[in-house]
Amino acid sequence: MIVRRFSWCLIIVLLAIGKVEAQVSYQFVYAYKSQAGQFHIASIAPSTRQVILRTVEVDTIAGLSNAAAHPSTEWLAFLLRSGQSELLEVVNTRTLEVRTVVVDAYPPEAGDNLTDEPQDFTWSPDGQFIAFNVWNRESGANDTILYSMETGTTANLTGNASGSTQLAWSSDSTRLGVVSVHCAQSCTAALNIYEISTGRLMSSFPLTPVVVGAESPTLGGVCQLMWSPDNRYLSFMANCDSSDYGTRKEIYVLIPETRIIERITNYTVDQDIVAQNGFLFADYQTAWLNADTLLISAIYGLVDARRTETSLYVPSTGATITVGNVFFQAISVHAPSHRLAYQPLAVNPETHLYGSTAAPIVLAPTDGDAVGLLSSAPTRAAVVTNEGCLLDWSPDGSMIAYSLPSNLNNCESGTASFGIVQIGGEQSIDDAVYSLPSDALFVLPLGWIAR
């Protein structure tokens, strides 16, 4: 790894940047490719018009491999492909300070669009580190790289040929969960936990053969990897490839202290793969509502037998409580304010079909009677009139951002605009939509930054 200041085709465009206020405010940031082939970084604030913060020139769409904003700081981070080099660029959106690190490896292949969530590229909650996976040319497998904001240096956290796929930070930023896949004559998977202060591998938990499908050497093996708020549990989904309808997609929870891995759901296990001619179907959204409650929303079964169900799993007791026959296609929890945003999606009773469609956003508290609050018509909940996809709370819980697709019947059809909901109280909600620049082609939501 070579750390240096790197001067290349970067065009800084400042259309409007206000004075820095003593009080912290938040802006939603996204990246887009223009018709001229440039990549722009733009921000949205409810009180101001959109601002182009930075323009980045790369050769192809795949040149912007991944990007993420840290919600509690002013920093954005990008993985950029330039010639034979991979660059980690970290940008301060207020001062425009730019840090560039040359990474001597290629990151996992990016697709030809900017709609996938950057699950293998993530900030630590305290904003001191960036963890990301890169392809090691010598070993032929992914390694997890750790960048320190304090020192401006990188380190290979997992070592050569670790086969890293999914990453998840503990809430206190002291540990990083890494799903690792090794393939020889066959593939095996493990969930490893690293101590950040020392770089030491604290513990390793074999996923094969307990977790069926975890050994896939791609992001399709394990996804939705997340810690509980108190860092006692790790939850994840196995068999995440959305194009594969013949695998056992289920939700699991790991208890590191006891080394127990529990399968929580049985939606594909209970399906008859022979009677269904080799087809199985299930899809999930999960979120930790608190330290001892995992929300699991599922849609499962083939066409004429398709069903939806949302439930709460309580690890301390092992209990699962069904809270409604509805599927939440997007979930976002703001833990400090005990509020949940979700988009309910019901199966068409005539066709038994569902799609990734834009749905009204429902805001509901997570404290109190969860069974009543998370039903299809929760009490004390407020329904946002605009239909949207994706949900992202601001750090202070005063706003939630969502995207509006170009085709409201398909959330993967591309982003046409963004909406921001300002929440002034239980009865005070202001919902505004912000159009994208007219020359925007491909759009990548990055998240919230402090300004």
- Say if residue 71 is preceded by a cis peptide, omega within 30 of 0: no
> What is the three-class DSSP state of 62?
helix
Q: Provide DSSP, 107-162.
A: PSPP-SSS-S--TTEEE-TTSSEEEEEEEETTTTEEEEEEEETTT--EEESS-TT-
Question: Are residues 114 and 443 in contact, defined by beta-carbon separation less than 8 angstroms?
Answer: yes
**Cα radius of gyration rounded to whole Å, the chain:** 21
Residue 316, domain member (yes or no)? no
Question: Are residues 32 and 444 in contact, defined by beta-carbon separation less than 8 angstroms?
Answer: yes
**Side chain identity, residue 312:** L
> What is the structure's pLDDT at 229?
94
Residue 99, domain member (yes or no)? no
Residue 223, domain member (yes or no)? yes
Q: Could you give the CA distance from residue 342 to residue 327 in angstroms, rounded to a whole number?
A: 10
> What is the three-class DSSP state of 292?
coil
> What is the structure's pLDDT at 235?
97
Residue 289, domain member (yes or no)? no
Question: Are residues 117 and 149 in contact, defined by beta-carbon separation less than 8 angstroms?
Answer: no
- Residue 279 DSSP symbol: -
Q: Using CA of residue 394, residue 32, residue 419, residue 14, what is the dihedral sign?
A: positive
Q: Could you give the CA distance from residue 60 to residue 266 in angstroms, rounded to a whole number?
A: 42
Long-range contacts of 145-151 (CB under 8 A, 24+ apart): 145/1, 145/88, 145/103, 146/176, 146/196, 146/199, 147/77, 147/88, 147/90, 147/101, 149/75, 149/90
Domain holding 130, by residue range, is 116-270
What CATH number does residue 203 fall under?
2.120.10.30
- Residue 304 DSSP symbol: G
Question: Are residues 52 and 42 in contact, defined by beta-carbon separation less than 8 angstroms?
Answer: yes
Long-range contacts of 375-380 (CB under 8 A, 24+ apart): 375/323, 375/324, 375/326, 376/324, 376/325, 376/326, 376/344, 376/346, 380/426
Phi/psi at 61 (5° precision): -60, -40
Residue 40, domain member (yes or no)? no
- Residue 192 DSSP symbol: E
Residue 438, domain member (yes or no)? no
Question: Are residues 274 and 246 in contact, defined by beta-carbon separation less than 8 angstroms?
Answer: no
Cα→Cα distances 144→97, 117, 136, 271, 336, Å? 25, 17, 10, 37, 30
Question: Are residues 187 and 221 in contact, defined by beta-carbon separation less than 8 angstroms?
Answer: no
What is the number of structural domains in the chain? 1
SS (H, E, C) 114-128: CCCCCCCEEECCCCC
Residue 320, domain member (yes or no)? no
Predicted TM-score (pTM) of the model is 0.85
The Cβ of residue 35 has, within 10 Å, a number of other Cβ atoms equal to 10
Residue 194, domain member (yes or no)? yes
Question: Are residues 269 and 248 in contact, defined by beta-carbon separation less than 8 angstroms?
Answer: yes
pLDDT 10s digit of each residue in the chain, 451 long?
A: 333 332 223 322 322 333 334 477 888 988 888 888 777 888 888 766 666 666 655 544 455 657 788 888 889 888 776 666 677 888 887 787 888 887 766 555 543 333 333 347 899 999 999 998 887 777 777 888 899 999 999 998 987 666 888 899 999 999 999 998 887 778 888 999 999 999 999 999 999 888 887 776 655 688 899 999 999 999 999 988 766 677 889 999 999 999 999 999 999 999 998 988 888 889 999 999 999 999 999 999 887 788 889 999 999 999 999 988 888 888 898 888 888 888 887 555 555 455 556 666 777 767 655 544 454 444 444 566 566 778 899 998 888 898 888 776 667 667 888 888 888 655 556 778 888 888 887 788 888 988 7
> What is the structure's pLDDT at 379?
40
